[in-house]
Chain A
Amino acid sequence: MHTLSLFDTKQALLSKKFSSVELTKCFLERMEKYSNLNAYITVCAEQALAAAKQSDEKIASGNAGELEGIPLAIKDLFLTKGVRTTAGSKMLYNFIPPYESTVTQKLLDAGSVFLGKTNMDEFAMGSANITSYYGNVISPWDTVKKLVPGGSSGGSAAAVAGHLCVAATGSDTGGSIRQPAAFVGCVGLKPTYGRCSRYGMVAFASSLDQAGPLAKTVKDAAIFLKVISGYDDKDSTSANIPVPNFEEFAGKSVKGLKIGIPKEFRVDGMSDEIVECWNKGAEILKKAGAEVVDVSLPYSKYALPVYYIIAPAEASANLSRYDGVRYGYRAEGKSLNEMYENTRGEGFGEEVRRRILVGTYVLSAGYYDAYYMRALKIQKLIKQDFENAFKNVDVLLTPTTPTGAFAIGEEPKDPVTMYLNDVFTVTANIAGLPGMSVPVCLDKAGRPLGLQLIAPHFREDLLVQVGSVIETEANFPTLKEVR
């Protein structure tokens, strides 16, 4: 039962093929058995079983919610009331939130069961889940070579692909849902900026952060997305527009749709395997009756540098609150400044410190115009590129990542090469657009590869529609068991 999709699990629970308690126990046992993946930072066994029991009662009394009794994993940057939330950092090693994030509250209201909090790159900064204070996460695809699951939502991705939960929340600032989804062969959907409330998510880069699902199928992601979407008056950047029933668009024909292939995404050094995978996706859509055309996004090549200015700039301010004064880690010092230095020097890992420094630098007097202001100007041009492209096409199709997953130890040693992992995904964040990664094939080494779909603002329905066609036709060899 642990390999079932969310949709099938829901049917099975409602038809009482098995109970939520049985299912939850099954997942808790698997989490224990595969704890070597290090997918979870905190396991909530007791709470999960109590919630499952309640769900079974609700199902029995015919009061089942949208996700009643479905065991989920929660990325450890969503604040969960009474359950430690670390954001993968030593800085929050002891932080027990006094309130619940909007996204997780919606999931709880829908009746879902939280199995635990998943591992992640520290403060969501990373693409391989190797910056976590709680240790790296291993992809269920190869625990011998120890493939990385991608990041920053690496724990959630590993938990979904390794069947340690039915589906999971992730957050995506530059690709943190889609890149790990591609690395582990699951579906990852980053909604339009403003679709989901950011209230109660540990902030990385506020203008780019967005919550979203990692799931086994496109339809699962659609069901999940509907639950967590919607306006929240606690988040001034959340959008007050209706939420469609995304599930209805799964399986809908793509006949007549226009699919754009952005030529700028054919970057130097991209492997043949990625090109093949990309072509395969385009062929599938052509066969299904869509028209595939080339489009140009001339400024998209600047998206990565723009991202690595805007995101660290915002992060440098967002992470100022971790100062040892009110909560979290504190290292003593002889003066206030020394306490700050010790706390932040010891509480933050290397990558986080690097990005705070970069962010502080680009906002400094004398550099602000050259970096931050210029980045905002280019961001506008990138947005215009997409607006122009979407005048002619409905959805864009690109690879999710330039390569498949690498093994721990094989990762690029200099941070800038590491940042290239996000080269295809950051553009959607920079433009605030919804994007989804769908697993398509395996490379020669047997590692999953995914394709990314990007739609106009608030057109996640198109992602579901086009994504489910690719999913059906690609017939990706989903992982049956951790190996």
Chain B
Amino acid sequence: MDNFIETSSGLWEVVIGLEVHAQVISESKLFSSASTKFGVPPNENVSFVDAALPGVLPVLNSFCIDQAIKTGLGLNGNINKVSSFDRKNYFYADLPQGYQISQFFHPIVTGGYIEVEQADGTLKKVNIERIHVEQDAGKSIHDQSPTKTYIDLNRSGIALMEIVTKPDMRTAEEAATFLRKLRSILRYLKTCDGNMDEGSMRADVNVSVHRPNTPFGTRAEIKNVNSIKFLATAINFEIERQIEILENGGEVEQETRLFDSSTGKTRTMRSKEDAQDYRYFPDPDLPPLVLEQSRIDAIRETIPELSDAKSNRLQKDYELPKYDADLIASEIEIADFYEKALSSTKSNDKTVAKMLSNWILGELFALLNKNSADITSSRISPEALAELIMLIKTNVISGKIAKDVLELMWEEQKSPTVIVDEKGWKQITSTDEIEKTLREILAENADKVAEYKSGKDKLFGFFVGQGMKKTQGKANPQLLNDVLKKLLAE
């Protein structure tokens, strides 16, 4: 589909490419045995290698390489049997070696793609150019002293994967969808936790605009985009900025721009003239990385079912609507929760599958939101939710009461059955009991019964309400209706 922007001067096409830095999930760093634990005091996870003492040498962490291979396979890429490491030279106080070890000439993965759903529901392939493995730099802390900069090297040397797309995206929303999906896949693969707040996933964005059917425009690179929401904001700002320049007869400069999340704007960081010459050359401390086919095959075996396949299966096996299935499959933790709960119901009833989906996406999510929690910190286990669903399904409680039970499950950490027992919330399903209660009500309201019988149908609702009130909401609603109809017809 075409995604042109129309302004008073005519149509514009936008071209977007992403470079995503994804921190590899690994206990230790890419070239040292120091821990990668987040949130520890500054400079605690620093080995001699990470601090670049004289004489130290990098030793490749093969687990990080396995993770990169897994990522490459999960993104449909080609795993290169021979790749190599290069030095990217630049000076900065938080870059101890004075160079970053990266893969410039021969990356570990080339090619690959992710299918993203466009606004009109059609699928589009966003192609991946390459994935390479590199080390992260440390952190400069400028706000602790007016005259000093502090350096924290905990992050120095942690493994990153740089995932570079082709310039295949055409709208900010498409780029956001891509990033969301990429994040989901990496989390399914357990190769990156996708935590953008902690900086374990960061994106640089290349944006340009041009008139349809003309060559691509000059691009600007936007750095420091650290949430999916900001990605769309930054791109949209940049599109407007570039179009305005061009419409006023100006030229877009090739430059690196910084996104400021407080203003939602981008500003010049450095122009092309100031672009650094990184003087890449092969790192003589590291021999080429040669991979055996058997290693790649073994890793392929460990690739789990990813979100698209899972959504399709949920739709096919449980007849879930696409909307539900996509939402549940979008995050591995939600999918895991759903599937655990479903298996715990031991039910093959398709309506149970749909009920469960409704309860997770509706009531449970509302509860999580209210408590600022997410599915991984849910105080309600999948098994407990399954139990609640089955209480509804088997008419032990009504759906209405179940909502109160769910709240209590969260607060009191008790099983739904215990709560229902303690509260005496079991649904009244005895026809005799309901009939007895209703007869009392009708007797007490003889005048209203007469009115009803003379044609005031609306009073039926009044009797239902009285019935529920008298049974404290425990009467099975269907049964109550049926018995009431019978009695009023007498």
Q: Give chain A's interface residues, CB within 8 Å of chain B.
A: 78-79, 85, 87, 92, 95, 97-99, 101, 198-203, 205-207, 233-237, 313-314, 316-317, 319-321, 323, 325-327, 336-337, 340, 360, 363-365, 368, 372
Contacts and interface: CB of A to CB of B under 8 A. Distances in A.
State which size class the interface on B falls in. Answer: 20 to 34
A236 B281 contact: no
A320 B99 contact: yes
Contact of B87 (A79, A203, A233, A317): A317
Contact of B51 (A237, A326, A337): A326
A333 to B, nearest CB: 12
Contacts of A237: 57, 284-287
B277 A364 contact: yes
A206 B54 CA distance: 12
B354 to A, nearest CB: 56
Given A79-B54, A203-B54, A320 B277 contact: no
Contacts of B58: 236
Interface string B267-287: 000000000010111001111
Closest 7 CB pairs of A and B: A320-B98, A207-B284, A363-B279, A206-B284, A200-B55, A321-B52, A202-B54
B182 to A, nearest CB: 31
Given A199-B56, A236-B60, A363-B279, A320 B284 contact: no
Nearest to B54: A202
A234 B99 contact: no
A317 B54 contact: no
B287 A325 contact: no
Contacts of A316: 89, 279
For A99, A207, A363, the residue with the greatest tally of chain B CB atoms inside 10 Å of its CB is A363
A206 B55 contact: no
B298 interface: no
B61 to A, nearest CB: 12
B60 A327 contact: no
B119 interface: no
Nearest to B98: A320
20 contacts: A79-B54, A85-B54, A92-B54, A98-B53, A99-B48, A200-B56, A202-B54, A206-B285, A235-B57, A236-B285, A237-B284, A317-B279, A321-B52, A323-B98, A325-B151, A326-B96, A336-B92, A363-B279, A365-B277, A368-B279
B287 A236 contact: yes
B279 A87 contact: no
Contacts of A372: 281
A97 B53 CA distance: 8
B59 interface: yes
A207 B99 CA distance: 17
Contacts of B89: 316-317, 320, 363
Contacts of B462: none
Contact of A326 (B52, B99, B149, B284): B52
A203 B97 CA distance: 12
B96 A202 contact: no
Contacts of A87: 54
Contacts of B285: 206, 236-237
Contact of A364 (B48, B59, B279): B279
Contacts of B96: 321, 325-326
B459 interface: no
Interface in B54-83: 54-60
A336 B56 contact: no
B284 A363 contact: no
Nearest to B151: A325
Contacts of B87: 317
B97 A199 contact: no
B93 interface: yes
Among B54, B60, B87, B281, chain A packs the most CB atoms within 10 A around the CB of B54
A329 to B, nearest CB: 13
A87 B149 CA distance: 29
A363 to B, nearest CB: 4
A317 B98 contact: yes
Given A207-B284, A313-B281, A363-B281, A321 B55 contact: no
B91 interface: yes
A138 B286 CA distance: 38
Contacts of B93: 323, 325, 336
Contacts of B279: 316-317, 360, 363-365, 368
Nearest to B149: A336
A73 B8 CA distance: 81
A319 B54 CA distance: 9
A203 B52 contact: no
